[in-house]
Chains A and B, each alone.
Chain A
Amino acid sequence: MELFDNLLMGLSTALQLNNLLFCLIGVVIGTAIGVLPGIGPIPTVALLLPFTFGLSPASAMIMLAGIFYGAQYGGSTTAILVNVPGETSSVVTCIDGHEMAKQGRAGTALAIAAIASFFAGTMATIVIAVLSVPLSVLALKFTAVEYFSLLVLGLIAAVVLAHGSVAKSLAMVLLGLLLGLVGIDVSSGVARMTFGIPALSDGLDFVPIAMGLFGLGEIIANLERPAERRVVSQSIRSLIPSRADLRTAFPAVVRGTALGSVLGVLPGGGAALPPFSSYALEKKLARDPSRFGKGAIEGVAGPEAANNAGAQTSFIPLLTLGIPANALMALMIGALMMQGIQPGPQIMTEQPKLVWGVIASMWVGNLMLLVINLPLIGLWVSMLKIPYRLLFPAIVLFCCIGTYGIANSLFNVWLMMGCALIGYFFIKIGVEPAPLLLGLVLGPQLEENFRRAMLIADGDFTVFLSRPISAVILAVVAALLLAMLSPAILRTRKEALAE
């Protein structure tokens, strides 16, 4: 079986001692950051990127992926114990999880969250393994024409499925594309929009932009609203859920996993959409929906499973096609490019060890989360007691040093400062910055493939419609855009994304 061969190859990479270590570091740091409300996974990954430069590409990706799903996991701990979502994806867990904690069942809620996450993580790893091979075979038929259409689909779908106004998100993608064009033009060697600044000739680094927009902008906005945190203080008595709890939770876990796996693959879905959908589904299926919001265990189990499954399957487009499904995956692509790996449809055939190593490491990492984190609950709870007034200056400092460290350039620090101001402006006017990051990372590839496609077709734009694969992809783009205009879908989207 090819599938098992691939997974075995992946495991042999993932189980190398140094990779195990980086996976462990990733999940622990990720959990720690996820537990702390106030800094999300995007600035975290951006902040830690410079640390991975010295590593091999596989180790770097394994660690960054670990940070990502670790952060998701940590977010649930905070949601249950403090009723503050550490991550957007754990907003739903707050509802019933915290209610359970107030009833003295915090341990059960934490354990169910951990078990549901692990189950979902295991299944999602299998889903990734099964889907990857046919997708990568298809991807190999791609020329510049198809790849351009695919990039367009990736961007549009990410915009349509993510939350926020579609028109604003499209404008943000364009803004990102524009920023991606800064630098020396590859084919003519002419400097574009560099304003005579030598540091700009290689283009804008996306790390200072991500840190400024997502990290610092967010911190400034956070400081404007005084936050209070109340940790549920009674000791966590029993971590082992009762048999009845497991029986009630298990079907929810299975449904959540399935839902999360499907929604995770969709661009833009990432980790935010699945838990909301799963919660709605569980409430609809429950015999007594009124229990929800009062500590229903399904309300923790389903969304937690969906959340973790979605987080993992959102790697599929990245690992098979080289297209990021959301802003976080865009950072991962950036990490790959900094390692000298060109993302694209050929990534699976050219870097099988890397791709399968990362896939296998996700399962290993989930196992680590299950084994280490429940005993460490006490440590995470004490982390929650660090006051924000000490936390944020530390984050600002590490952002400064991290940004500087990418290219040893003070220009990047100034760039980050400018982006912090713009990020704050975006928050004030209610615009989501995530599509900008996607545009920025995909911009250069989009231009290159567009120019190549036009060169092949001698400037004939119809080539995108006369090639069958490209035509199908663009038809999907058109359908998505049309669907967005239909009032019925607008309404359901609003409901599905309503918080």
Chain B
Amino acid sequence: MTRSRIDLQDLLFGLFLVAVATGTLVATRNLTVGHAADMGPGYMPRVVALALMAFGVFFTGRGLWRTGRGIAPVQLRPLLAILASVGVFALTAERLGLAIASVAAVMLASFATREGRFVETVAFAIVLSGAAVLLFVKLLGLPIPIWPR
């Protein structure tokens, strides 16, 4: 990994924590805080968010201050293919049924690598889809349609 003038790993983690803490404080602004002997629903989220904020500021500061490791370049192909595979499954599973959703998810996922061979992937996707239907719907009784309704 390359060295860089700032510690990018620390910096990004710190910014992430600050974002999460800020989000929490905003999301819980209307909850009663109460006091220690009688805590309201907002007490714990507020305490944890403030602690997270402190950690976030610490890491952001340390990231800017010291030299550190850079980040290995992000490769979009596997990232997008896997996320798209899960997304397509979520979009199609209940509408088009498990059989079609499975084929779509497997096909999309296999785009994550260049090694895939089209015919092999299609055949494998169909076999897996069949196996998934048998195992999850027939055997385990998962209440999910097999075909489009």
Contact = CB atoms under 8 A, between A and B. Distances in A.
B57 to A, nearest CB: 11
Nearest to A389: B115
Interface string A381-420: 0000001111011101111110011001010011011001
Interface string B107-144: 10110110110001100110010001000100010111
Interface stretch (A152-160, A245-253, A345-353, A425-433): A425-433
B81 to A, nearest CB: 8
User: Sorted from nearest, which 3 A-B pairs have the closest CB atoms?
Assistant: A459-B37, A223-B78, A459-B36
B22 to A, nearest CB: 12
Contact of A175 (B20, B82, B132): B20
Given A177-B48, A459-B35, A420 B109 contact: no
A465 interface: no
14 contacts: A192-B28, A219-B78, A393-B109, A393-B110, A393-B112, A396-B105, A400-B85, A404-B144, A428-B72, A430-B9, A451-B39, A454-B39, A455-B37, A457-B37
B106 A174 contact: no
Q: Which interface residue of B77, B93, B109, B110 has the most chain A CB atoms within 10 A?
A: B109
Interface string A187-216: 110101101000000000000000000001
User: At the interface, is chain B mostly helix, strand, loop or mixed?
Assistant: helix
B37 A178 contact: no
Given A392-B113, A460-B37, 5 more contacts: A185-B41, A393-B121, A421-B79, A424-B79, A429-B71
B78 A220 contact: yes
A171 interface: yes
A405 B85 contact: no
B124 A393 contact: yes
Contact of B90 (A223, A397, A414, A450): A414
B2 interface: no
Contacts of B136: 401, 405
A193 B75 CA distance: 33
Interface string B21-37: 00010011001100111
A405 B142 contact: yes
B61 to A, nearest CB: 12
A396 B109 contact: yes
Contacts of A51: 140
Nearest to B120: A390
Given A178-B45, A397-B128, A408 B115 contact: no
Interface residues of A, number: 63
Interface string B8-24: 11001100110010001
B109 A392 contact: yes
A413 B93 contact: yes
B48 A401 contact: no
Contacts of A399: 86
Q: How large is the interface on B (under 10, 10 to 19, 20 to 34, 35 or more residues)?
A: 35 or more
Contacts of B132: 397-398, 401
Nearest to A408: B143
A192 B45 CA distance: 8
Contacts of B87: 414, 417
A450 B37 CA distance: 10
Given A393-B106, A393-B124, A396-B105, A178 B89 contact: no
Contact of A174 (B27, B52, B112): B52
Interface in B38-71: 38-42, 44-45, 48-49, 51-52, 55-56, 58-59, 69, 71
A431 B28 CA distance: 27
B82 A193 contact: no
Contacts of A447: 44
Nearest to B84: A417
A377 interface: no
B100 interface: no
Contact of A389 (B13, B40, B110, B142): B110
B98 to A, nearest CB: 7
A454 B17 contact: no
A393 B85 contact: yes
A168 interface: yes
B38 A216 contact: no
A2 interface: no
Contact of A428 (B39, B71, B110, B113): B71
Contact of A193 (B24, B72, B78): B24
Given A178-B48, A195-B27, A429-B9, A224 B35 contact: no
Nearest to B68: A430
Contacts of A175: 17, 20, 52
Contact of B105 (A192, A397, A405): A397
Contact of B28 (A167, A193, A424): A193
Contacts of A392: 109, 112-113
Interface in A165-188: 167-168, 170-171, 174-175, 177-178, 181, 185, 187-188
Contacts of B39: 451, 454
A5 interface: no
Contacts of B75: 223-224
Contacts of A499: none
B43 to A, nearest CB: 8
B50 to A, nearest CB: 10
